[in-house]
Amino acid sequence: MTYLAIVRHGQSVWNLENRFTGDVDVDLTPQGEAEARQAGQLLKPYPVDSAYTSILKRAIRTLAIIEEQTGQTSLPVTQSAALNERSYGSLQGLNKDDIAKQYGVVQLDKWRRSYDEVPPQGESLEHTYGRVIPYFGSEIEPKLKAGQRVLIVAHGNSLRSLMMYLEQISPTDIAKTELATGVPRLYEFDADMKLTNATYLSVHQPSTPQ
């Protein structure tokens, strides 16, 4: 069976502090490291042939911890800025509660969740989709079509872009789609690369070794 596993990095320092992080290169918290270890345990029954990550350390470290937990420490790993988190421009480093007070909750939600709203000097989700999906199509999808099993460790918005593509989520519905830190999502494909199943791996549900 061909499958793709995606994991949003574990909690970062700025996640904890409720700041806009974007493409600022902040590290994991101790909780983020624990989330990465749990993700690795959940992924143990799903060995992969190669892995991809962004060039930001919170994703790179999450992948390294997952590799340790699964025992796949010699995986071929590709790092690409195409998988980086979207830039929030001048909002980066600012507290989200403060932004809500200054601009209103509605505007905050548009900047955080909408498909085409552009933060000041930043990227929209649409812009992020425009770099993630071509990269996926040229670099990762051919491996899946060849029967390889792939792991991607990246960020909330780069992975939400991929979820839109794989699950045919509309620009309207993606605003209501969240991806928790450190929770693997598994996509299974048939021989024709038709998506047959998409599920979150959880400690509350058994995983079946493949």
- The answer on whether 37 is annotated among ligand-binding residues is no
pLDDT for position 37: 98
Residue 165: which CATH number? Answer: 3.40.50.1240
Separation between Cα atoms, residue 128 and residue 118, nearest integer Å: 11
Please give the distance of CA 133 from its chain centroid, rounded to a whole number. 13
Of the pLDDT bands very low, low, confident and very high (cuts 50, 70, 90), residue 210 is very low
Range of the domain at 171: 2-85+125-200
How much is the average pLDDT of 112-131?
A: 96
- The answer on whether 58 is annotated among ligand-binding residues is yes
Backbone angles phi, psi at 198, to 5 degrees: -140, 120
- The answer on whether 9 is annotated among ligand-binding residues is yes
Report the mean per-residue pLDDT for the chain: 94
- The answer on whether 202 is annotated among ligand-binding residues is no
Domain assignment present for 101: no
Cα angle for residues 47, 48, 51 (degrees, 5° grid): 140
Catalytic residue among 9, 35, 67, 155: 9
Domain assignment present for 112: no
- Where does residue 5 rank: exposed (0-12), middle (13-18), buried (19+ CB within 10 A)? buried
CA dist 172 → 56, 70, 168 (Å): 28, 36, 11
Question: Is 85 a catalytic site residue?
Answer: yes
- The answer on whether 124 is annotated among ligand-binding residues is no
pLDDT, one tens digit per residue, over 65-102 is 999 999 999 999 999 999 999 999 999 999 999 999 99
Domain assignment present for 14: yes
Within the chain, strands assigned E span 2-8, 50-53, 77-79, 150-154, 185-189, 195-200
DSSP 88: -
Domain assignment present for 39: yes
Neighbours of 59 (CB within 10 A): 29
Domain assignment present for 206: no
Domain count for the chain: 1
Catalytic residue among 67, 85, 123, 155: 85
Domain assignment present for 149: yes
How much is the average pLDDT of 7-14?
A: 97
pLDDT, one tens digit per residue, over 96-120 is 999 999 999 999 999 999 999 999 9
Domain assignment present for 75: yes
Say if residue 208's pLDDT is above 80: no
Say if residue 165's pLDDT is above 70: yes
How much is the average pLDDT of 159-177?
A: 96
- The answer on whether 85 is annotated among ligand-binding residues is yes
Domain assignment present for 155: yes
Of the pLDDT bands very low, low, confident and very high (cuts 50, 70, 90), residue 203 is low
Residue by residue, DSSP assigns 143-202 as: HHHTT--EEEEE-HHHHHHHHHHHHT--TTGGGG----TT--EEEEE-TT--EEEEEE--
pLDDT, one tens digit per residue, over 14-53 is 999 999 999 999 999 999 999 999 999 999 999 999 999 9
Q: Is the dihedral of CA 159, 171, 118, 126 positive or negative?
A: positive
